[in-house]
Amino acid sequence: MPIKRKPGGGRKPKVKLLPAQVLPIGQLLTDLTKRGWSLGAKVGMGGCGEIFLAAPSGKPITPDQASHVIKIEPHANGPLFSELAFYHRAAKAEMIKNWQLRYKEATYVGVPAYIAEGWHELNGDRWRFMVMERFGEDLEMIFTKHGRIFSLPTVCTVAISLLNSLEYLHNNEYVHADIKGANLLVGRTKSKRHEVYLVDYGLAYRYLADGKHREYQEDPRCAHDGTIEFTSRDAHKGVLRSPGIFHSQEILPYCNYYQQFHFTSTVPLYVRMYCKVLDALIK
């Protein structure tokens, strides 16, 4: 049932983001450490800019061989700037490596590590860009290929991976705020095909400030932010910057329920089984 907004309520119209122009294939971008990156073909568009294949300068940038991707948006836009703030504060490679050393039972952390960033000028326009590891398909695409249903073992595997990723984020004072199948990518190489990575941190925010939980505050302008099918009850109320880790823990079951039970008549039995599994994992 559609959510009805009160007259005059809801978020104010957002400033329309300028679309990043299609930069020529082979364009050389130089990051802040003076390392060169060759730009490949455009492969998608996210909430934080357009996405292109990429590779270190001199390396192949073909669809089969490109090792990285680059997000790029007009320098005056804000989403990619916000995402970079998260990576600087909570997702540097050394931080992720240290986390793995502390929690050896986690074979990997499903949070992409910061690689590089920079800005580029072309024809009088300035562009901000971020270099990322290249991943494989997202779970929404895989879900569709499998007739829009995953087995219970698959759902539990995804849940465990996500819980590990969320534990890392929450211990670094962040909440993702937009967990969904399209933001969950599997590893691209053969050795990482069964790893699940949580991406797109344009809505991520710190729920702690100076070690203290942010004050609970409802803001009608932020009501329903995120992905409407999966967002938490707090987000529906516009509690965008102050909810804590339970925000993510509420979104997670919605996503897993969707993946396991969409278009199936076996909901009651599997719901009970899944809830027991998830409850045990959270504890």
Long-range pairs for 37-45: beta carbons < 8 A, 24 or more residues apart: 37/68, 37/70, 37/116, 37/131, 39/70, 40/66, 43/69
Pairwise CA distance, residues 174 & 93, whole Å: 17
Residue 253: closest CA among 226, 234, 269, 231? 231
As annotated, the active-site residues are 178
Which residue matches tokens 């292109």?
Answer: 52
Which residue matches tokens 């990429």?
Answer: 54
Q: How many helices and strands (H and E) does the chain possess? A: 7, 12
Strand, helix or coil for residue 61: coil
Backbone angles phi, psi at 51, to 5 degrees: -120, 130
Tokens of 100: 């793995």
